[in-house]
Amino acid sequence: MNTIMKLGLAALLVVMTTGVLLAGSGNRTGTGGASELLIPVGTRDMGLGGATVATTTGLNSLFFNPAGLTMSDRSVNLMFSHMSYIADIGIEYGAASATFAGIGTIALSVKSLSVGDIPVTTTTDPDGESGATYSPQFFIAGLTYARQLSDRVSVGLTSNLLTERIGEVSATGVAFNAGVIYTNLGDVNGLSLGVVAKNIGPQMRFGGPGLYQLASVATQSRPPQYYQIEAATFELPSTIEIGVGYKYIPAERNVLLLTTAFQNNNFSDDEYRIGAEYAYDNTLFLRVGDSFAPQTPSNSDYIYGVTFGVGIQYPLGDTQLSVDYAYRDAQFFSGNNTISVMLGF
């Protein structure tokens, strides 16, 4: 193993150990923040139930495991997607990557949430009859670097800048993802192992004019003044995931992919995911997956379930066009529908 590989694997081990230490046990849903970091993007992988820690590739990997960014047969890629999320929330996503010989692959990504207008309510107007509205804004910009250290080992690191604005308060933070994928594990062709630590970063805090309160001090003879309320800090929803995948070729132009993943969360119960993909002639792709949290009583607090998806890949001259669709079932809400378009050059 060369020096670069040793340094890369050592750095990843440190980051992933940090992820394990930060990840807690039990269900603490609602006690953290920045939950937009947990909303998946990457239509192909969503159709596989998100079980692609070890099998994700190209721009789809930016959310699931950045080490998979190196696994693309095109040097430049662009992707755009739209998701119809729960409660009529829209998720817009765009990403671009470029591979540089001797350096690695670099990608930029942008994710934003469209929540819509919400009536302003106050203690004197609890029903929001004034007609005033506000629109929450959630935005994530990511920079990813990935490199193939050998013919079997790929590593990746993502830095996400996230901003949240709700009315007259806002918060800004940074979160890091680090992952590794080992292919042909144990000299078994098609067998891969992946590990990723996600959303590791400092605590965030809201601030802004919305936290100023007009008040007076009873012991002092001066008019009421504005005092700033100091909001409490909140943690990021850190996770650590490990997965195994196997690609099997039963016949010429036919490929079957089986993939699994385990996810440990620091604010909710552990999750398990499975997925399968059938590909014909590298043109038509059929996908199915499922995710579940067996520690959650009757799965009442875990709303997601079965997924399925379909993809078409078609060459347009020197350009490769990919169109993918995925559906994820959800309790209490309408299911998530996602569609994406990818171009490879």
* Residue ranges covered by each domain of the chain: 3-344
Write down the pLDDT at residue 24: 47
Report how far residue 169's alpha carbon sits from residue 206's, in angstroms, rounded to the nearest whole number: 6
Which residues in the chain show pLDDT less than 70?
A: 1-31, 297-301
Q: Is the dihedral of CA 54, 203, 95, 341 positive or negative?
A: positive
The pLDDT tens digits of the residues spanning 254-267 come to 999 999 999 999 88
Task: Copy the structure tokens of residue 178.
Answer: 């680090």
Residue 330's φ and ψ, nearest 5 degrees, are: -145, 135
Task: Copy the structure tokens of residue 265.
Answer: 């969360």
Write down the pLDDT at residue 29: 59
Rg, the chain, Cα only = 22
Report how far residue 98's alpha carbon sits from residue 105's, in angstroms, rounded to the nearest whole number: 6
Write down the pLDDT at residue 213: 86
| Cβ-contact 112, 138 below 8 angstroms | yes
Q: Render the burial of 311-325: b for 16+ CB within 10 Å, e for the rest.
A: bebeeeeeebebebb
Amino acid at 344: G
Report how far residue 245's alpha carbon sits from residue 287's, in angstroms, rounded to the nearest whole number: 14
Residue reference for tokens 């993909």: 277
Write down the pLDDT at residue 23: 45
Write down the pLDDT at residue 26: 54
Q: Render the burial of 218-238: b for 16+ CB within 10 Å, e for the rest.
A: eeeeeeeeeeeeeeeebbbbb
Report how far residue 107's alpha carbon sits from residue 164's, in angstroms, rounded to the nearest whole number: 23
Write down the pLDDT at residue 25: 47
Report how far residue 165's alpha carbon sits from residue 137's, in angstroms, rounded to the nearest whole number: 5
Write down the pLDDT at residue 294: 84
| CATH 3.40.50.300 for domain 3-344 | no
Q: Quickly count: other Cβ atoms within 10 Å of residue 162's Cβ.
A: 22
